[in-house]
C-alpha cells in the first residue's frame, strides 16, 4: 500500500523537475524578440566629399521591423526603410536639389529600403534599394542590449552611381559612407 506521504514526496519531486524544465523552455521560446527601430536624428547618417570637403547629412522617417535572436543571430531578420523626403544636409537649397530626379527622385521613389538576407553576430548581408535599384551589401554590425531593446550600429560604403544617384562629377565623390546607429524597442 502506498502511503500519502510517499505520494506527496513524488509530486514534490516531479515539481522540482518540471518547473525548471518549463522555465528553461520558456527562456528558449522567447529568445527571438520583435523590435521596432526608433526614428532618431542620428539613426541614419551619411558623409560624402563635395569639393574635397566632407558633407554630412541624415535621413529620418525610419520604419521597419527587426526580429533579433541573440542566442542564434542567423535566425534574425532586419527590414527597414527611410523617407527620402527627410534628407537633410543643413542646406535647404541642396536638400531640395538632392530630392529631384537627377539624384534621389523623391516624386517616384519615396523610400530607401534594406532587407537582410543573412545575419550573424558581427555582420549583416542584405538588399539595399535606392531609386528602384537593388544591390546586395554586407557590413559589420555591433548589437548591444540597451534599455528594453538593442542598439544596432554599423557603417558601410556604397557607390552612389551604382544606384543612379547623380551623374559623374569632378567635385562630388562617388563614394558615400553610411552610418547606422539604430536604437530599438519592443
The most distant pair of C-alpha atoms in the chain lies apart, rounded to whole Å, by 96
What dotted CATH number matches 32-185?
Answer: 2.40.128.110
Under a CB-based contact definition with an 8 Å cutoff, are residues 66 and 78 in contact? yes
Under a CB-based contact definition with an 8 Å cutoff, are residues 81 and 112 in contact? yes
Please give the chain's pLDDT, 186 residues, in tens.
555 555 555 555 555 555 554 444 444 444 789 999 999 999 999 999 999 999 999 999 999 999 999 999 999 999 999 999 999 999 999 999 999 999 999 999 999 999 999 999 999 999 999 999 999 999 999 999 999 999 999 999 999 999 999 999 999 999 999 999 999 999
Query: Cα–Cα distance between 109 and 98 in angstroms, integer?
Result: 12
- The single residue listed with the C-alpha cell 527590414 is 79
Query: Cα–Cα distance between 75 and 167 in angstroms, integer?
Result: 39
How confident is the model at residue 27, as a pLDDT?
A: 43
Query: Cα–Cα distance between 186 and 67 in angstroms, integer?
Result: 10
Query: Cα–Cα distance between 33 and 165 in angstroms, integer?
Result: 35
Number of other residues whose CB lies within 10 A of the CB of residue 154: 17
Under a CB-based contact definition with an 8 Å cutoff, are residues 43 and 182 in contact? yes
Q: Which of 141, 143, 162 is nearest to 151 (CA)?
A: 143
pTM of the model: 0.83
Taking CA atoms, 53 is separated from 48, 83, 167, 172, in Å, by: 8, 25, 19, 9
Q: CA-based Rg of the chain, rounded to a whole angstrom?
A: 24
How confident is the model at residue 11, as a pLDDT?
A: 57
Amino acid at each position: 500500500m502506498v502511503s500519502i506521504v510517499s505520494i506527496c514526496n513524488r509530486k514534490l519531486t516531479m515539481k522540482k523537475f518540471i518547473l525548471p524544465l518549463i522555465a528553461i523552455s520558456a527562456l528558449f521560446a522567447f529568445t527571438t524578440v520583435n523590435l521596432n527601430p526608433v526614428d532618431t536624428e542620428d539613426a541614419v547618417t551619411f558623409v560624402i566629399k563635395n569639393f574635397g570637403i566632407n558633407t554630412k547629412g541624415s535621413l529620418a522617417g525610419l520604419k521597419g521591423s527587426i526580429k533579433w535572436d541573440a542566442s542564434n543571430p542567423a535566425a534574425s531578420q532586419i527590414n527597414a526603410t527611410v523617407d527620402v523626403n527627410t534628407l537633410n544636409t543643413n542646406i535647404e537649397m541642396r536638400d531640395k536639389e538632392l530630392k529631384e530626379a537627377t539624384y534621389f527622385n523623391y516624386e517616384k521613389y519615396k523610400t530607401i529600403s534594406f532587407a537582410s538576407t543573412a545575419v550573424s553576430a558581427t555582420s549583416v548581408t542584405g538588399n539595399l534599394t535606392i531609386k528602384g535599384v537593388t544591390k546586395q551589401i554586407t557590413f559589420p554590425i555591433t548589437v548591444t542590449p540597451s534599455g528594453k531593446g538593442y542598439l544596432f550600429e554599423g557603417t558601410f560604403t556604397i557607390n552612389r552611381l551604382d544606384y543612379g544617384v547623380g551623374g559623374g562629377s569632378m567635385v562630388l565623390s562617388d563614394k558615400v559612407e553610411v552610418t547606422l546607429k539604430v536604437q530599438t524597442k519592443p
